[in-house]
């Protein structure tokens, strides 16, 4: 059907109205959720930071920080002995050093966003979503600040690439490989599951024979150093390492502190089967791998990773989101960065009206966790936050897949 010039103007005007309403409702929901987050101020903040300080104080006074009876309360110290000894070097200075690091990492991340409205909108929406941004930062857990640094590296790489000519083979991302890989290795000493993010530079160099060879050599070199360090330190601190493993098992399996990974959908079923509990984790990794495989396959097949497509500079954010899902102990301080990465890629695609409506529905689901409001859901699947999280992520991811299944328009 052919549209007259007048009809075309009406359609364009209507689209603008819809887009403005879309952003208005998103911001309104986000502001409501931020106000909801303030209730957490009444509780203690930096509770994980206090665990670090208490554990180091016990250790420096000759005690066992891994003993469940030493720290008291629900949380335990579940970091490798290498981290324990590293933290112990700071003694009473540990708290100010970590707080300084936290603020420095936040400033570094925020400055990396520059004046990119896509990034700022994604940050606001991810921070506000179910209050997970506030909870993540207020917890004082190291993890979220490590995430922010890695995401800042990706932001800088994508920003540089978009500023350059699109036919320069993503040279800016190639130049950030070394920094990104070294930081991932360093952070993996603290959180071993960070190793999975090494997949990002490998996929982003797909089809570039010379660059992929350099990237593989770089990763293999640093991974070898990582395993040599972790194995040798585990043997050297063998007694403490055994206590660390026991503490980790007690905190995760014993106290059921497993977070929001796919594994939780199968955990209770296989827990009753005793030795078959490993199947819950197998299914977890199988689902995460399948989502990654589908996304990468579609991106390669339909040229979304092509150097002729400027949007490929944002693909590392989709990878970051998908790789975060590999963590079987997915916590809110992992979900906050994951949601940010997911939103960044979604908005980079310049979504259609239908995709925007799907996104709005996905984001509005967060209101189901708004305790004390008319939106709060106390019964049914949305009473459980894990279902809210995955429905929200699933709907946005579905909207992204509807774009990836189509060849990129150059």
pLDDT tens digits, residue range 190-211?
999 999 999 999 998 875 655 7
Q: Comparing 1-5, 16-20, 309-313, 354-358, which segment has the lowest mean pLDDT?
A: 1-5
Please tell me the total number of residues recorded for the chain in this structure: 410
Q: Is the pLDDT of residue 4 over 80?
A: no
- Would 4 be classed as within a structural domain? no
Asked if the structure places residue 184 within a domain, the reply is yes
Spatial distance between the Cα atoms of 181 and 174, rounded to a whole number of angstroms: 11
Which of 171, 184, 174 shows the shortest CA–CA distance to 222? 184
Instruction: Identify the pLDDT of residue 102.
Output: 96
Q: What percent of the chain has pLDDT over 70?
A: 87
**CA 329/CA 325 separation, integer angstroms:** 9
Residue 164: pLDDT over 60: no
Asked if the structure places residue 208 within a domain, the reply is yes
In angstroms, the CA 121 to CA 343 distance is 9
| Contact by Cβ (8 Å): 173, 157 | yes
SS3 312: helix
Mean pLDDT, residues 142-159 taken together: 92
For the cut 80, the answer to whether the pLDDT of residue 113 exceeds it is yes
Cα–Cα distance for residue pair 136/326, rounded to 1 Å: 19
Segment 65-86 mean pLDDT: 84
Average pLDDT, integer, range 393-403: 96
Whole-angstrom distance, CA of residue 97 vs CA of residue 118:
32
| pLDDT tier, 241 (very low <50, low <70, confident <90, very high otherwise) | very high
Residue 54: inside a domain: no
Confidence of residue 376 (pLDDT cuts 50, 70, 90): confident
Name the most confidently modeled range: 59-68, 221-230, 301-310.
Answer: 221-230
Q: Span 109-128, mean pLDDT?
A: 93
Indicate if the pLDDT at residue 133 is higher than 60: yes
Q: pLDDT value at position 165?
A: 40
State the average pLDDT for the chain: 86
Tokens of 359: 């996104």
What is the span of the domain harbouring residue 224?
12-43+97-404
> Is 409 part of any domain?
no
Q: What is the DSSP letter of 380?
A: S
Q: For the segment 41-56, what is each residue's pLDDT rounded down to a tens digit? A: 666 778 888 889 989 9
Own/partner pairs, 114-118, CB within 8 angstroms, 24+ separation:
114/159, 116/155, 116/159, 118/344, 118/347, 118/348
Give the pLDDT band of residue 318 (cuts 50, 70, 90): very high
User: What is the Cα–Cα distance from 144 to 190, expressed in whole angstroms?
Assistant: 12
What is the band of 2 on the pLDDT scale with cuts at 50, 70, 90?
Answer: low
pLDDT band at 81 (very low <50, low <70, confident <90, very high): very high
The residue-averaged pLDDT of 113-125 equals 92
Q: Is 39 part of a structural domain of the chain? A: yes
pLDDT of residue 366: 92
310 occurs within a structural domain: yes
Name which residue leads in pLDDT, 272 or 114. 114
Split into its structural domains, the chain has a count of 1
pLDDT at 35 over 50: yes
pTM value > 0.85: yes
In a domain, 83, yes or no: no
Q: 347 with 121: CB under 8 angstroms?
A: yes
Structure tokens at 97: 């050093």
CA 23/CA 357 separation, integer angstroms: 10
Predicted pLDDT at 410: 62
Q: In a 10 Å sphere around its CB, with 0-12 CB exposed, 13-18 middle and 19+ buried, how is residue 67 labelled?
A: middle
What pLDDT shows up at residue 161?
Answer: 53
């Amino acid at each position: 059907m052919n549209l007259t010039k007048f009809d075309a103007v009406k359609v364009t005007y209507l689209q603008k109205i819809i887009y403005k309403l879309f952003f208005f409702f998103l911001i309104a929901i986000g502001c409501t959720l931020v106000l909801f987050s303030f209730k957490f101020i009444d509780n203690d903040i930096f509770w994980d930071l206090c665990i670090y300080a208490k554990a180091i104080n016990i250790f420096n006074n000759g005690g066992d920080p891994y003993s469940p009876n030493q720290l008291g309360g629900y949380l335990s110290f579940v970091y490798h002995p290498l981290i324990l000894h590293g933290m112990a070097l700071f003694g009473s200075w540990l708290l100010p050093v970590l707080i300084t690091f936290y603020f420095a990492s936040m400033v570094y991340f925020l400055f990396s966003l520059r004046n990119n409205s896509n990034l700022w909108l994604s940050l606001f929406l991810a921070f506000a979503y179910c209050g997970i941004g506030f909870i993540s930062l207020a917890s004082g857990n190291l993890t979220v600040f490590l995430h922010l640094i890695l995401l800042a590296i990706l932001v800088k790489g994508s920003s540089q690439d978009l500023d350059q000519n699109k036919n320069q083979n993503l040279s800016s991302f190639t130049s950030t490989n070394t920094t990104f890989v070294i930081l991932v290795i360093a952070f993996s000493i603290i959180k071993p599951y960070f190793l999975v993010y090494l997949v990002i530079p490998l996929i982003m160099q797909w089809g570039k024979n010379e660059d992929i060879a350099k990237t593989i050599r770089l990763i293999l070199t640093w991974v070898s150093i990582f395993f040599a360090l972790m194995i040798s330190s585990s043997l050297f601190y063998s007694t403490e390492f055994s206590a660390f493993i026991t503490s980790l098992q007690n905190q995760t399996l014993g106290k059921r502190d497993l977070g929001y990974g796919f594994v939780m959908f199968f955990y209770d079923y296989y827990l009753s089967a005793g030795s078959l509990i490993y199947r819950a984790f197998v299914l977890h990794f199988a689902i995460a791998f399948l989502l990654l495989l589908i996304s990468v396959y579609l991106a390669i097949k339909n040229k979304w990773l092509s150097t002729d497509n400027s949007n490929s500079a944002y693909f590392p954010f989709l990878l970051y989101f998908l790789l975060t899902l590999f963590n079987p102990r997915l916590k809110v301080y992992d979900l906050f960065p994951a949601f940010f990465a997911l939103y960044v890629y979604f908005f980079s695609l310049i979504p259609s009206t239908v995709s925007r409506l799907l996104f709005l529905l996905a984001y509005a689901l967060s209101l189901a966790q708004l305790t004390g409001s008319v939106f709060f859901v106390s019964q049914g699947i949305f009473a459980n936050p894990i279902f809210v999280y995955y429905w929200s992520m699933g709907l946005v991811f579905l909207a992204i897949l509807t774009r990836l299944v189509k060849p990129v328009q150059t």
